[in-house]
Structure 1
Amino acid sequence: MMNLKPDDPRSQKKGEKGHRSRASPKQKSKQFSFSIPADSIPGKVIADVRAFVQEKINSLQSLDKKKLFLTNFPYLICGYFTDKIAWLYRVSEGATGWDKLMETLNYFERAFADPFPSMFYMDLPVVWQ
């Protein structure tokens, strides 16, 4: 006959729970952790990356958001109008580029019938090149 330990689930009756030893989270982290020496090359690389990330976090927290917005606002407006013109050129009727351009200039007010920018995949590269 097999000698079963008390922790073995086969030795328990239905509905009973046996005692199982569990490690605390601190003990688990000690069991599977390893350390890289700080004076080794990987240790120095990791320290440099951590310092770089912390420096970027600190610089972003001290950034003036109003100044950032006002600096980039002209680019947003220019991108919006370029997107509208690209959409109007794309949907204009015409066999040649000249016909499409004339149609775009003649019916420029149609571009602003919808206030939202076009999200068509061919209009966006025109804006962000």
Structure 2
Amino acid sequence: MEDQNASNELGKMFRKVKPYLAMVSLQFGYSGMYIITMVSFKHGMSHWVLSVYRHIVATLIMAPFAFFLERKIRPKMSLPVFLRLAALGFLEPVLDQNLYNMGMKNTSTTFASATVNVLPAITFIM
């Protein structure tokens, strides 16, 4: 009986803490990516090549989740859906990452990480 109460309390606490753990994990991921990016640039890698590698890794990580978890809820591929996907796929990750990496190559990592926090404000203004 006491073990059940302890596990219920632990489950409630984990549900409350889960968003904070997710945000801390995300920030560690960003920090790791900044470090990998700057080391790659210092060794002479082009920002175009780094962007392609990032997209390949993201595809390999996300594709199994999309395939198994969203197998039955995918929309039918029509021309308007395809054009929207192509436009969003080009504008957000490709253009954003290439401009960000070009800026990071010419500035410090601290400045580049500070500018990421400005993106929601710029999006709100637009």
Same fold (TM over 0.5): no
Scaled by the length of structure 2, what TM-score is found? 0.29
Query: Normalised by the size of structure 1, how large is the TM-score?
Result: 0.29
Identify the structure with bigger relative contact order (alpha carbons < 8 Å, sequence gap 6+). 2
**Larger-gyration structure (1/2):** 1
Q: Which has the higher helix share?
A: 2
